[in-house]
Structure 1
C-alpha cells in the first residue's frame, strides 16, 4: 500500500487528499519521500518564519526540552515571562499590556471573542453586538467560525454562536453600523484566506476612531500578518494606530504550535482568574522556541528583509509578462497574485510538478508566504519555476480553446 492509501484510510477527510509526502526540510527547501527537492514558498502557510530546520529553532527545541517542557499554568517559567515581555515590546503595548498564551490562532481568537464578551457585559451599558467583516477568516472552532464571514463554511454547523454581525469592508458601512451597543470590531489587516485582500485605504485608522468614539474594542487578527511578515512586526503598525487587542500565532513559533492574545490599555483588565485558561498554553517549551524565533528575526533584520524581498518579488512577478497574471496584492512577504482566469488550482499543481510549493486560497489567486529570510537565490529560482508553471497552464488553456 502507498502513503496515499494510508492517509485515506487513517486520517479524517477534513483536508482532502494530501498533495505530497514530505520527509525533510532545510532552509527554503523540502524533500519528498522519493528524494525530490522543492522550493517552499508556502512555509507551512506563513508559519515557518525561519524556514525549515533553522539552527536557532532546532537548538531552542532541544535545549528547552532537555531542561523543562511543561508544568501547567499554576506556575510561571522564565521562557513564558520572557516571551510575554518580548511580545509586549514588539507590539508597543506599554506597561499596561498583558499576554494570554494558547496553542494556535483559533485559540487566540477564542480568547479574543471572550474578551469582547467580557467588555460587552461590564460597564454602565450592555453591549451585545460584535462586528466582523464579510469574507473574513478567524478560525474553524465554533467560536471563531461565528466570527468568520464565509456562509458556506458556517452552513454545516448552524446555529452559530449568537451576537456576531457581518458588515461590508467599507468605512461607510462601519460608520453606519456602529453604535454604543457594539462590544468589539474584529478585523484582519489583510484578508489572507479571502485571497490576500487589502483593506481600503485608511480603514484601520477610521476603525480606530469610530470604535473609540463608541466605546467598542478594536481587535486586530494578526495571525497571518504578524511576526514581521508585512514589513512591520505587526500589520496594524503600518497604520500608526493602537488597537485594544491583537491575536498572533503562525509565524511567532516558526513551526512550533503557539498562539497569543495581546491586550492594550484598559482591555488588559477585563479577564480575571477563572474566566479563561489552557492546559498547554504558555508551556516552557513553546514559549522558549517562540522567543528564540522572534529574537532571530529581530537580530537578523528579517522584518526589513520581508519588506525588501516583497517589493522584489512583486516587481519580478509583474515583469513576467504572463497573460495569466493580473497583478499583486498584499504587503511584504504576504503576496496574492491575481489571475485573469479561475485556474489557480491548476497553477498550484503545475508549480508542484516543476518543484515549487505555492497555494491557492481561491480560484483566481495564488498566495506566496515564503520564509522571512529568503534572498536573491531563492527569488531567482522562484521566478524560473513560477514562469514554467504559468506557461504550462497557459499552454493548456490554448489547447482547450483550440479544441472548443
Structure 2
C-alpha cells in the first residue's frame, strides 16, 4: 500500500514512554534512535501530552493569513535564545533548508550584486527535496534525480583552501556543524571561523544546518554556541517539536530579505505545532533538561569508549553531546539488525557509523542500562561472525 521509499523491518510499534517503545504484541524495546533525533524528551512526555490535549480543544490551524498567540510566543522564545531577529516556521528540516536557499538566492540578487552560487560540503545531508538534494554532498542520493538545481558547488569540509578557490560568485555557504547522516563528522572550529570571515569579506550568507545537532542535542541549545561562530541563517527542525512536525529558519538582520509573497506555507507554524514547540523549549530551558546534557554526554561517551577498548570491531567513538556514534571497522548493517532482534533500536550513518541518540532527558541510571545492553549485544554479535 505504501510507496517503497524505506526498507523497514516487520516490527509494528504502537506505543512508547520515555526511552521505551512497545510493539503490537507488547514486546518492550530500548529506543536509541529517538525518531532520528526528534523525540528530544522521549516518547509521550507528560507535558507534551498535556499540551496536545489542551491545544487540540482550542485551535489547530487557521493558516498564516492570520496571527496566532502560539506562533508569536514560540518565535519570541527562539529569538530570545538566539543571536537572530526573525523566524520563519515550516513543517520539516528539508523545508527549512529550502527556505534558507531561497533566502540566499534573494540576498545574492538584492544585496550581493547578482551572485547566486551556493557552496556546500562533501558528505553533507540537507534533505531529499530538489533544492536540499542539490546541496547534499552524497552522490548516492543525487544520481537518480539529476539534473538537480544548478548554481551549487561542492567543497571539502574543513578545507579552507578549497572554499577560498570556490567562493567567487557565491551568495551563501551551507554547512552542518556536525554532519549527522554523513557519519558524525565535526566541522573544525577554525574552519567555521574562517567561513564566517569569508562570508563577511565577500558579502555572502553563512547558513548552519542544525536540524539534527540543534535544539540541545549538542549540549547547547544552538550548536553554533559550541563552536563560537554565529551564522546568518539557522535551519532547525527535528527536536523542536518533540515528535510533532515543525521546522524553523532563523535569520539575522543581514539575512532578513523576504517580503510578502516571496515564500510561504499553509501548515507551517500552525498553533498546534507551535504550542508543542513552546512546551519542548520550556522543558529544555526553563525546567533544566539542557543544563544536564553535557554531563550526561560525558558519561555516555566514556561508556562507549569502554566498549571501544573491549571490542575489536569498533574503530572509533565520535560525536557531540547526546549525538554520539560508534564507527565500526566494516558495514554495521548486520549489527543494527542483530540489535533489533535483541530489542534495541539503532540507526546507521555514513562511514560505518551507528548513531546513539537517546532522549535529552535520559537519566544517569538509564545511561548505565544503555551501556549494559550495548555490551550484551556486542558480545552476542561476536564481531559479525554469527
Residue 261 of structure 2 is matched in structure 1 by 274
Partner of 1:186 in structure 2?
174
Instruction: State the secondary structure of the residue aligned to 2:372.
Output: helix
CA distance in 2, matches of 1:307, 1:361: 23
**What's the TM-score, normalizing by structure 2?**
0.96
**Corresponding residue to 1:76 among 67, 70, 76:** 67
Q: Distance in 1 between matches of 2:290 and 2:317?
A: 20
Aligned counterpart for 2:108 among listed residues 113, 120, 127: 120
Uncovered stretches (5+) of structure 2, i.e. residues with no partner = none
Aligned to 1:297: 284
Q: Scaled by the length of structure 1, what TM-score is found?
A: 0.92
Give the match's secondary structure for 2:55: helix
The structural deviation recorded for 1:355 is 1.7
- Cα-to-partner distance string for 1:163-200 (whole Å, 9 max, x where unaligned): 11001111221122222x21000000000001111113
State how 1:2-401 maps to structure 2 within 5 Å: 10-93=1-84, 97-123=85-111, 125-169=113-157, 170-179=159-168, 181-268=169-256, 270-320=257-307, 321-342=310-331, 344-362=332-350, 364-394=352-382, 396-397=384-385
Return closer, same or farther for 1:120/1:28 CA change in 2, 3 Å cut-off: same
User: Is contact 1:229–1:372 with CA below 8 Å preserved after alignment?
Assistant: yes
Question: In the TM superposition, what is the alpha-carbon distance from 1:56 to its structure 2 partner?
Answer: 0.8
CA distance in 1 between counterparts of 2:18 and 2:112 reads 54
Q: Match of 1:111, SS?
A: helix
Q: Cα offset for 1:201?
A: 4.0
Q: Aligned partners of 1:363 and 1:389: how far apart in 2?
A: 21
386-395 or 49-58: which moved more? 386-395
Question: How many residue pairs align between the two structures?
Answer: 383
Deviations 1:11-64 (A, max 9, x none): 111012335211110011001112111111110000001100101110111111
Return the offset for 1:313: 0.9
Once the two structures are TM-superposed, the CA of residue 241 in structure 1 deviates from its matched residue by 2.1
Q: What is the alpha-carbon root mean square deviation over aligned residues?
A: 1.3
Secondary structure of the 2:119 match is strand
8 Å Cα contact 2:327-2:351 kept in structure 1: no
